[in-house]
């Protein structure tokens, strides 16, 4: 059974995608919460320079030296960006926009000049090709396993150990860096460790999904989870689950439509985000629209209570305490006036007495809170 599993190209493609998604989204939660999501974009592009520089020095297109060299370039990007931002001559977003295109462009130029005939072309670096990861294998435990699977499994374990071992430091450093520094939790070192692992994960993901699609996996699932929960451990769990769901659904849709597998996996992260963006129970567009409608109804309920309170037991009560008066005098559409009356009924504020709208005791108490306790009924 194990032989059949590793011999199946479909299984290896799916496993590679899931390893990329889990490794990236695990770190992405902290990047999104720290407001460093765009740094992952900068790192994933600028490490192209590290890849080509390491190749020029060692002629190695893969392996630990390649990963370390590219990761150091990612850290260099972060350091240069922060130094530029600390000059206060430009803001952080502008510093990111200045540094990473420069390093990325230098990497592209070096590839064009020195690596045209090597498997380091711009398209493979940017887009990757997950469909062919099963062709490049290595022998491990008497099994031929794709190198990408071995590399990404190692990266996932490292990322998982980093997050679990430094959970408290990451959590406090994310939400209150000053407190983390006061407690001696070394938030700066943790910050660079997080970004260093982001660089390593980006390099390991290149062969499978490329730099551009890696960004989708490290940002979109955490952003989706953030719409659904404010608990960090739930956000991390949901983020990983969403990335796995995007990989599985993206793979089968790509096979069905005969399109790019990596591209469809990344696209599914966007589809899942769009669903959560609309339907998230508390923060989705639909929930916010319903909340705003409820708030408006409650606000107009207070206006209705004030209107009825003003005219209750007066000569104009027969004219004013009716649906017709709400439409004419308050200029509410009839459907809205009926909705406000229904809302006031549900809240126990009003009742219909003798064909007229009247305040109940709870409604009178609401009126006293509006006009003040010193004012009695007219």
Q: Is the pLDDT of residue 1 over 80?
A: no
Q: Where would I find the beta strands (DSSP E) of 191-284?
A: none
Domain end among 216, 249, 277 = 216
CB 151 within 8 A of CB 70: no
Please tell me the predicted confidence (pLDDT) of residue 378.
43
- Structure confidence by residue, pLDDT tens digits, 319-370: 888 888 888 888 889 999 999 999 999 999 999 888 889 999 999 898 888 8
**Is residue 316 domain-resident?**
yes
Query: Looking at residues 86-115, what average pLDDT do you find?
Result: 83
Look over the chain and give the mean of its residue pLDDT values, rounded to a whole number.
86
Residues whose CB is less than 8 angstroms from the CB of residue 150 and which lie 6 or more positions away in sequence, other chains included:
138, 140
- Structure confidence by residue, pLDDT tens digits, 253-305: 999 999 888 888 989 999 999 999 999 988 899 999 999 999 999 999 999 99
3-class state of residue 63 by DSSP: coil
CB 13 within 8 A of CB 134: yes
Q: Are residues 211 and 290 in the same domain?
A: no
**Is residue 252 domain-resident?**
no
**Is residue 242 domain-resident?**
no
Q: Are residues 292 and 198 in the same domain?
A: no
Q: Are residues 173 and 315 in the same domain?
A: no
Higher pLDDT, residue 26 or 47:
26
- Weakest-pLDDT range from 24-33, 46-55, 169-178, 220-229: 46-55
Domain end among 216, 237, 263 = 216
Q: Is the pLDDT of residue 371 over 90?
A: no
Higher pLDDT, residue 211 or 164:
164
**Is residue 149 domain-resident?**
yes
CB 71 within 8 A of CB 43: no
Residues whose CB is less than 8 angstroms from the CB of residue 237 and which lie 6 or more positions away in sequence, other chains included:
225
Domain of 160: which CATH number?
1.10.3470.10
Q: Are residues 181 and 320 in the same domain?
A: no
**Is residue 225 domain-resident?**
no
Domain of 333: which CATH number?
1.10.10.10
Q: Are residues 195 and 55 in the same domain?
A: yes
Structural domains of the chain, count: 2
Q: Are residues 316 and 182 in the same domain?
A: no
pTM here is: 0.82
Q: Are residues 98 and 18 in the same domain?
A: yes
Higher pLDDT, residue 164 or 117:
164
CB 133 within 8 A of CB 208: yes
3-class state of residue 143 by DSSP: strand
Higher pLDDT, residue 143 or 357:
357
Distance, CA of 31 to CA of 313 (rounded, Å)? 62
Please tell me the predicted confidence (pLDDT) of residue 292.
93
Q: Which domain holds residue 141?
A: 1-216
26, two tokens:
């695990």
Which of 229, 175, 253, 243 lies closest to 28, judged by CA? 243
């Amino acid at each position: 059974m194990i032989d059949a599993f590793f011999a199946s190209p479909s299984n290896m493609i799916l496993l590679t995608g899931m390893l990329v998604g889990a490794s990236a989204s695990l770190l992405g939660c902290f990047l999104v919460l720290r407001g460093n999501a765009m740094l992952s974009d900068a790192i994933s592009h600028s490490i192209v320079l590290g890849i080509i520089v390491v190749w020029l020095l060692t002629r190695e297109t893969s392996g630990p030296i390649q990963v370390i060299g590219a990761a150091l370039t990612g850290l260099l990007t972060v350091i240069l960006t922060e130094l530029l931002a600390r000059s206060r001559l430009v803001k952080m977003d502008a510093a990111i926009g200045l540094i990473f295109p420069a390093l990325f462009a230098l990497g592209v130029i070096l590839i064009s000049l020195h690596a045209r005939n090597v498997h380091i072309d711009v398209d493979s670096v940017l887009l990757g090709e997950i469909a062919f990861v099963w062709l490049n294998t290595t022998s491990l435990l008497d099994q031929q396993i794709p190198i990408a699977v071995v590399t990404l499994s190692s990266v996932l374990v490292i990322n998982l150990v980093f997050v679990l071992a430094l959970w408290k430091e990451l959590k406090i450093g994310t939400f209150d860096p000053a407190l983390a520094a006061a407690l001696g939790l070394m938030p700066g070192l943790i910050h660079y460790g997080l970004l260093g692992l982001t660089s390593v994960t980006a390099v390991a993901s290149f062969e499978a999904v490329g730099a551009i699609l890696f960004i989708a996996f490290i940002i979109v699932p955490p952003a989706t989870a953030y719409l659904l929960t404010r608990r960090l451990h739930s956000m991390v769990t949901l983020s990983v689950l969403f990335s796995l769901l995007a990989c599985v659904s993206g793979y089968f849709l790509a096979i069905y439509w005969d399109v790019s597998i990596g591209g469809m996996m990344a696209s599914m992260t966007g589809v899942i985000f769009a669903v959560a963006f609309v339907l998230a129970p508390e923060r989705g567009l639909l929930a916010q629209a319903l909340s705003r409608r409820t708030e408006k109804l409650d606000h107009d309920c207070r206006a209705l209570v004030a209107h009825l309170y003003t005219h209750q037991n007066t000569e104009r009560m027969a004219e004013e305490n009716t649906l017709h008066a709400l439409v004419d005098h308050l200029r509410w559409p009839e459907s809205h006036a009926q909705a406000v009356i229904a809302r006031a009924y549900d809240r126990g504020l009003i009742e219909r007495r003798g064909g007229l709208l009247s305040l109940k005791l709870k409604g009178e108490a609401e009126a006293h809170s509006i006009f003040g306790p010193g004012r009695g009924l007219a």
